[in-house]
Structure 1
Amino acid sequence: MLYIGNHFISAYQGKSTPCNIKSGTKTIADSAFFACGDLPNITIPKSVTSIGDEAFYSCLDLASITVDPDNPAYCSESGVLYSKEKTEIIRFPKEKAGDSFAIPTGVIKIADGAFEDC
């Protein structure tokens, strides 16, 4: 995984093990997980305050995203990544279990690519 200071830039495109972004990371770059097709899950620490566009593009095996409950900008529920206030769905993991998904009351925005390949 590539970091520049406290910015997560990129994961190895063939990454196939769970990814725990290191504590103290402030941002996740645009397309940071591009083509990490075998990546099963990602854990985001409380320090991350900005996630770039299409950060999870082509994460075809992604089953869940977990966010530290103390994160001020993001949260997760049942593996789905939301803005902290749950007004925006940022990423729905393609391999999330279940046959259906109901968009929660209060969601007013769905990020570009949030349901990619679902």
Structure 2
Amino acid sequence: MAFHNCYNLVEVAFQNDTSNLTNIESHAFSHTGLRVFNFGPNVSKVNAKAFLFCSSLTYINVSKSNPNFTSVNGVIYNKQMTKLIIYPPGNKSVSYTVNKTVVTIKKYAFSSCEYITLVNLPPRLRKICKFAFSNSAIHNITTPDTLTMIQKGAFMHCKNLTIANINGTYTQLSEQCFKYDENLTVVYLPQSFESSPLSSFANCSSIQCVTYSKNMKERVFMAGIPWVALSDTNCSKYLPAIERRHQEYQKWIQNIFRYRY
């Protein structure tokens, strides 16, 4: 937590170079004003919470000689390009397409990203780790059929999330997966889905429609999904209103950019 909550910190310059920096620990730079950060050649470990809520951080560079990480347009992947590790929270792009080689979205990868509204996931994705999209601005999410695991709190506190189209081969969601997603309206669950911890949909009070397998165990709906949503299978009728809500959000974001920048 070396620079945690140093809100006015916009740049870090090391005395000599970054070659001696090997580990970036939890909350090392969280809640700071950093705009750009440079990974030196010897960085081998970065904690998932190192850059949380860095709302000005738009780009992370990685030394080309670093054997562990690589940067693609400021987004951090492992060297093999199979894991997305950090998406800079201050990146002002509203959409992003994850590299097609990725099979894992790491912990907190998109957490606290307040501008991103759409993330296109790769066709071979297998795992979404803990809190990967928590506290982000995503509007909807569609997972590929290859997905085998969504870990705890992956989409928790996503207050703009309205549509969750969950595909995959797993049978159970994780704890707190969509907890506190107060505007989640439509949920599509895979045919393989059977049950879920009671906290998966806790405090999701706006859900209107759910599609689910006949094998679904009813106890999952004790976790926040209104019972009336079970009897409404015509989810498409809610989509126009959701689209209008998204358009209004985009106008609001544009105004924020206009006055803030």
1:79 alignment counterpart: 74
Cα displacement (A) at 1:11 = 2.4
Q: 1:58 aligns with which of 43, 53, 60?
A: 53
Pick closer, same or farther for the CA change 1:23–1:105 going to 2, 3 Å: same
**What are the Cα deviations for residues 3-60 of structure 1, in whole angstroms up to 9, with x where unaligned?**
xxxxxx6225224323356321111112211211x11110010011111231111111
Structure 1 range deviating more: 19-28 or 64-73? 19-28
In terms of fraction of residues, the more strand-rich structure is 1
Structure 1 range deviating more: 43-52 or 25-34? 25-34
Give the greater-gyration-radius structure (CA).
2
Letter in structure 2 aligned against 1:54: K
Which SS does the other structure have where 1:19 is aligned?
coil
Pick closer, same or farther for the CA change 1:98–1:88 going to 2, 3 Å: same
Contact 1:20/1:42, CA 8 A, preserved across alignment: no
Equivalences, count: 109
Contact 2:69/2:79, CA 8 A, preserved across alignment: yes
Q: Which runs of 5+ in 1 are unaligned?
A: 1-8
Identity of aligned residues (%): 26
Q: 2:3 aligns with which of 5, 11, 29?
A: 11
Q: Which has the higher contact order (CA 8 A, sep 6+)?
A: 1
2:30 alignment counterpart: 34
| Structure 1 runs, 4 residues or longer, greater than 4 Å off | none
Pick closer, same or farther for the CA change 1:47–1:106 going to 2, 3 Å: same
2:101 alignment counterpart: 106
2:86 alignment counterpart: 91
Letter in structure 1 aligned against 2:99: P
Q: Distance in 1 between matches of 2:86 and 2:47?
A: 12
Letter in structure 1 aligned against 2:27: S
Letter in structure 2 aligned against 1:11: F
2:21 alignment counterpart: 25
Q: TM-score, normalised by structure 2?
A: 0.39
In terms of fraction of residues, the more helix-rich structure is 2
Contact 1:20/1:44, CA 8 A, preserved across alignment: no
Residue 61 (structure 2) pairs with residue 69 (structure 1) = no
Q: TM-score, normalised by structure 1?
A: 0.81
Q: CA RMSD in A?
A: 1.8
